[in-house]
Amino acid sequence: MSKIIVRGGKRLSGRVKISGAKNAVLPIIAASLLATKGESVIHDAPPLDDVMTISQVLKSLGVRVHYHNETIQVNAEHISTCEAPYEWVRKMRASFLVMGPLLARQGYCRVSLPGGCAIGTRPIDQHLKGFEALGAEIEFGQGFIEARVKGRLRGAKIYLDVASVGATENIMMAATLAEGTTIIENAAREPEIVDLANYLNAMGARIRGAGTGVIRIDGVESMQGAVHCVIPDRIEAGTFMIAAAISGSSLYIEGAIADHLRPVISKLQEMGVTVGEDENGVQVSRERPLRAVDVKTLPYPGFPTDMQSQMMALLAVSDGTGIVTETVFENRFMHVEQFCNMQAQIKVDGRTAIVSGNSKLRGAKVCATDLRAGAALILAALAADGETEITGTHHIDRGYVDIERKLRELGADIRRVEPAEEIEQVANHEMSIFTVQPTWA
Ligand SMILES: CC(=O)N[C@H]1[C@@H](OP(=O)(O)OP(=O)(O)OC[C@H]2O[C@@H](n3ccc(=O)[nH]c3=O)[C@H](O)[C@@H]2O)O[C@H](CO)[C@@H](O)[C@@H]1O
Ligand SMILES: C=C(OP(=O)(O)O)C(=O)O
């Protein structure tokens, strides 16, 4: 498969435009299943493999989906089946988000168990607990989950044991068409939850409190298609902020919403990075040596787990020792071994990684073990001596739009290599939206 090759040591400069948020657009596309009338038009939908995957899930349900120029149109007036197949759901955890809308609208669904990044066991018990509280009966089949309800779901009070992003989204979507009021307590507060609630409200839902720990949903009889613009991707923005810091550069990150990035901005400032903000984005500059800091991942508004590996790359080249504690996922240190192949000094003890700084990173052959780990390896490679070859690029393509083009335009020496004999195969493969966008459009 393809490789990304980076020759480190280049200064970057200029501005980079952040794409729409992967983690916002995926639930929003799933939510469009709730519209029994009219078409949804979703702008700033990034051309990512994950967006293709969720589109394929909807198409497999008989829904009309069309993608053009970062706008996705969904017409879900007609649904022909309530079964979301393994073929697509296994590729990505967010596919499981069709369960809430299907159950609410059709009273039945059969959804394959979800896949996604291998960063922990990632149970779905909180999603199912929520559906059961709303009156659904849940059955496990072989690799499938079936949910059914007689008549409409009924509003309920649901306390989440963990403030799960996916469970909050799935339950919130299911509750929109329930009879009566649903209250989700200990709800996740991520900006992507707020974006989803805004879209659902534009479709006719009645949701209050999204972005706080208590969300109230007053059920409505029906919903229709709506127009929506997806928020900018705070994780992509954070990744480019670290690109500026790790390469000793100054970059303007266009579209970044500083309020969504507070924990990342605050850590970078503690490390000696200058961050300026205005209404259109953030300016990040690093002129002096970096100071190591400790980082603990937490649900929003804490430091995002999706920025942990990128921050670890930065700590590896900072002065001093930084302790990284991962509290959200129990197995999200797979990238450490890859960093160590680049001469980073990192020791893992359970959920803690001790990063001894001042490493002179060296280019090496490394493999992206998951999406953010792949981005973090690119960042490390920007600061490394010599050439780094990164495989496992399919992980990166799940969540970053044209990362190598964006970095190249800023001055990085980065390119993607497709082995000659595989080019034709890739071009014919419907997974690659970059080469065969029209097959799922
Ligand atoms: C598509 C998407 O938006 N993905 C994001 C979403 O994933 P996702 O929605 O899967 O993450 P969750 O917030 O659900 O997971 C957080 C923690 O809760 C646990 N848990 C979750 C559900 C459940 O039913 N039971 C349970 O125990 C998980 O194992 C994990 O330890 O939020 C994560 C945490 O910010 C991010 O890393 C992912 O990028
Ligand atoms: C873990 C991630 O994605 P997913 O939840 O889709 O696996 C991520 O975006 O970093």
Q: pLDDT tens digits, residue range 218-268?
A: 999 999 999 999 999 999 999 999 999 999 999 999 999 999 999 999 999
End-to-end CA distance of the chain: give it in Å, rounded. Answer: 24
If you count them, how many residues does the chain have? Answer: 441
Residue type, 251: L
As a whole number of angstroms, the distance between CA 337 and CA 348 comes to: 10
Nearest ligand to the CA atom of 331: 1
Tens of pLDDT, residue by residue over 312-335, are 999 999 999 999 999 999 989 999
Nearest ligand to the CA atom of 120: 1
Residue 316 CB–ligand 2 contact under 6 Å: no
Q: What is the DSSP string of 278-317?
A: ETTEEEEE--SPPBP--EEB-STTSB-GGGHHHHHHHHHT
State the pLDDT at residue 431.
46
Q: Which atom of ligand 1 is nearest to the CA of 124?
A: 24
Residues pairing with 58 in the sheet: none
What is the second-level CATH architecture of the domain 22-229? Alpha-beta prism (3.65)
Distance of CA 414 to the CA centre of its chain: 23
Ligand 1 pocket test target in 122, 132, 236, 335 with most atoms within 8 Å of CB? 122
Residue 93 CB–ligand 2 contact under 6 Å: yes
CA of 221 to the centre of ligand 1 (A): 30
CA of 92 to the centre of ligand 2 (A): 8
Domain 3-19+232-439 has CATH 3.90.1150.10: no
Q: Where in the chain is the domain with CATH 3.65.10.10?
A: 3-19+232-439, 22-229
For atom 8 of ligand 2, the residue with the nearest CA is: 306
Q: Specify the pTM.
A: 0.95
As a whole number of angstroms, the distance between CA 296 and CA 231 comes to: 25
Does the annotation flag 126 for ligand binding?
A: yes
Would you say residue 355 has pLDDT above 60?
A: yes
CA of 232 to the centre of ligand 1 (A): 20
Q: Select from 258, 237, 367, 360 the least CA-distant residue to 307.
A: 237
Q: What is the DSSP letter of 57?
A: H
Does the annotation flag 124 for ligand binding?
A: yes
Q: How many CB atoms lie within 10 A of CB 22?
A: 26
- pLDDT class of 116 with cuts at 50, 70, 90: low
CA of 48 to the centre of ligand 1 (A): 20
Would you say residue 429 has pLDDT above 50?
A: no
Tens of pLDDT, residue by residue over 379-397, are 999 999 999 999 999 999 9
Predicted-assembly ipTM surpassing the 0.90 threshold: yes
Ligand 1 pocket test target in 165, 296, 326, 333 with most atoms within 8 Å of CB? 165
Nearest ligand to the CA atom of 92: 2
- Residue 389: exposure state from Cβ atoms within 10 A (0-12, 13-18, ≥19): middle
CB 300 within 8 A of CB 265: no
CB contact set of 145 (below 8 Å; sequence gap of 6+): 99, 110, 111, 113, 124, 128, 138, 139
Q: How many CB atoms lie within 10 A of CB 327?
A: 16
Q: Residues near ligand 1 with C-beta < 6 Å?
A: 23, 26, 93-94, 120, 122-127, 162, 164-167, 188, 192, 305-306, 328-329
- Residue 1: exposure state from Cβ atoms within 10 A (0-12, 13-18, ≥19): exposed
For atom 2 of ligand 2, the residue with the nearest CA is: 117
Residue 340 annotated as catalytic: no
As a whole number of angstroms, the distance between CA 97 and CA 90 comes to: 13
State the pLDDT at residue 421.
44
CA of 328 to the centre of ligand 1 (A): 8
Would you say residue 124 has pLDDT above 90?
A: yes
CA atoms within 13 A on the CB side of 388: 32
